[in-house]
Structure 1
Amino acid sequence: MEPLTEHRPVNGPVVYGYLRLINVSVARQTALKESLAEYCRQHELSLFGVSIESSTGADRAAFTGLLDVLALPGTYGVVLPAASHLGPKPIAGDRAKRITVAGSRLLLARGGGNSRRSGRWFARE
């Protein structure tokens, strides 16, 4: 007899994590990476990598790299611990729009309810 589907390894939609960590301890960085991985396990998503922005500025290499991987075939979206990881409000709005224009979903591991922006759902759980 075959095992139930729930007991088989499943390759879920491909997502990439993004963390904005300015002056954050290594322990905090590790905890945030683990929280993204746990969120993906719980929601059957395949976390293929995590981009980390560690300096201030409107458009750093980590975000540019994230946009590059979002262009890869089969990419479903970006997972963040919270919307604040996109940066300060003026920057965050532009970044969220750039992610959705790339055809990707923005998934937030923390927060309540659902909201709709830029024509895409932002899942908050």
Structure 2
Amino acid sequence: MEPLTEHRLVSGPVVYGFLRLVQVSEARQEALVASLAEYCRSHELELSGVFTERETSTGPGSAAFTGLLDVLALPDVYGVLAPAASHLGPKAIAAERGRRIEAAGSRLLLVRRTRRTCPASHLRQGIPPHSPGTPHLLETES
């Protein structure tokens, strides 16, 4: 008898991580990689690799980001996972990198957002966006 689907090892959509780690301790790097792995585990994604940028870049091109774009051209790659948008670089660089990821046909998934939003109805009722119990809308799919 065949095992049930829930008992078979099934690969989730493939994602690649991207970290920008300029002057970061090894412990911090390990914690960030672990957060990417945990996000993938809880969202049934397969983390196939992590690209790490270690130097401050003045533009959207870097060896790590170019490598990331190369793997996004592979078949069956779902997207890019980063701890936060800041890992793509300063705002202007991050915006351009986001466009390049999207142009490659991939999604950008963020473990956490820098700015949270809440329903307009909560704002009209005077409920602050960060109050406990307020359902936050996330940028990524659950």
TM-score of the pair, normalised by structure 1:
0.87
> Structure 1 unaligned runs (5+)?
116-122
1:34 alignment partner in structure 2: 34
Q: Which runs of 4+ in 1 moved over 3 A?
A: 1-7
Aligned to 1:91, the other structure's residue is in SS state helix
- 8 Å CA contact 1:15–1:77 kept in 2: the answer is yes
* Residues in 2 aligned to 1:62 and 1:124: alpha-carbon distance in whole angstroms: 25
Q: Which residue of the partner structure matches residue 96 of structure 1? A: 98
Residue correspondence of structure 1 range 14-93 to structure 2 within 5 A:
14-57=14-57, 58=59, 59-93=61-95
User: Aligned equivalents of 1:109 and 1:20: distance in 2?
Assistant: 14
Counterpart for residue 109 of structure 1:
111
Paired residues, what number? 118
Task: Please state how far the C-alpha of 1:50 moved relative to its aligned partner.
Answer: 0.1
Equivalents in 1 of 2:55, 2:141: separation in Å?
26
Shift of 1:78: 0.3
- Is 1:10–1:44's contact at 8 Å kept on the other side of the alignment? no
Q: Following the alignment from structure 1 to structure 2, what is the Cα–Cα distance between the partners of residues 51 and 108?
A: 15
Percent identity, please: 66
Give the number of the structure whose alpha-carbon radius of gyration is greater.
2
Q: What is the TM-score with the length of structure 2 in the denominator?
A: 0.77
